[in-house]
A and B are shown apart, each in its own frame.
Chain A
Amino acid sequence: MKQLKKADRNSFQGTNSEASSDWICCLMQQIGLPALRIVPKTMEVTAFNRLFADLIVSTGIGDYRLWFVDGVLPSIKKAERVGWVAAAARFEPANARVQLSLKGGRKRNFEIRSAGRIQQETVDPLIACVFIPGSAADPRMRDQPGFARGRAMERSRIRDELHKNVSQKLLGAAFGCKVLAGKIQRLDDGFAQQASDLAELLNTAVIDLQNLTRRTEDYD
């Protein structure tokens, strides 16, 4: 992770072998999200993580301080850009959709989420921006018919799988275990108790599966 000296007061020493890192960018890197920090008024990049660098590299912008202004801002959807910039200037949390080009030219949608002022940062506070990838970032996508159809199909497939495979086998196993417990009881009480415990465990698994299946039905 890179960082300008100017922003060193907002940073901490990373736990890995890399040089000093912005703590938010470092944290986001660890949980797998591209992130950067920008100066509110100029939107100059002061810190970023490797995931964001990988994301922006295809733009060919050499100076990383301009990555946001030249690489991200123009790609924010027009209708949301003005609102996002205004909110960022006021240091308020804001969201906007952005489409970035990946290596190889493929485009991918992200939601850029920026945080408001962070209390611990009292000197030269910076805006933290995180990029949430994919359609999951856009709640409006979830309402589109194709997306809903896909979700319904997947739910149906999982439910069928639960019934045709898991559920049937579990049913047979639960009864088989009861049979064994009954037979063993005649031979050895200790083993019978173990078999009975196993039967109980299977019963619990059966009930868990029932609840799971019901939950998938609740969504329909």
Chain B
Amino acid sequence: MRGLRVFLVENHQDSIKYIRLYLEQLGHEVTTAGDMATALKLFPGSTCDVLISDVALPDGDGWELMERLKSGRPSLAISMSGYGGAEDLLRSRSVGYDHHLVKPFTPDDLVALLRKAGTVVENQESGRDQGVSKGKRPK
């Protein structure tokens, strides 16, 4: 799997710590934020490929976060929530998330989505930069 730049928004300390470690172990570059305010501050400069955000944040929610990220949206956005109701899924889709993961999900669930993200990023890059050599990415 190609290395991706992942922006992870999650307020649960253990979850953010171990998801980050695991994704880094797989060769991805991970930036984290524990709340919406931090995410809004760090996200514009992160030039990430994938946004993974919890829906429940201490100062807002993942849907509002997506709506406020007016520019620089990632190639693939994944929302996470503890409730798998159809309403959560539909709302996530309506604000621009490509996928919705219901907690607790397995590491394999997330890896499968990141594989998809890798394909999307490659397609975008090949369409955008035809004939131009790609910048170096994490392994």
Contact = CB atoms under 8 A, between A and B. Distances in A.
Contacts, number: 78
Contacts of B85: 217
Contact of A172 (B17, B83, B105): B17
Contact of A175 (B15, B82, B83, B102): B15
A163 B83 contact: yes
A41 B17 CA distance: 74
Given A168-B12, A169-B14, A179-B22, A174 B83 contact: no
Interface in B102-127: 102-108
B25 interface: yes
> For the side of the interface on A, what is the size category?
20 to 34
Contacts of B12: 168, 171-172
B22 A167 contact: no
B17 to A, nearest CB: 7
Given A175-B21, A175-B22, A213 B84 contact: yes
Interface residues of B, number: 20
Interface string A157-175: 0010011100111111111
B14 A168 contact: yes
B102 A172 contact: no
A73 interface: no
A179 to B, nearest CB: 5
Nearest to B82: A163
Interface of B: 12, 14-15, 17-19, 21-22, 25, 82-85, 102-108
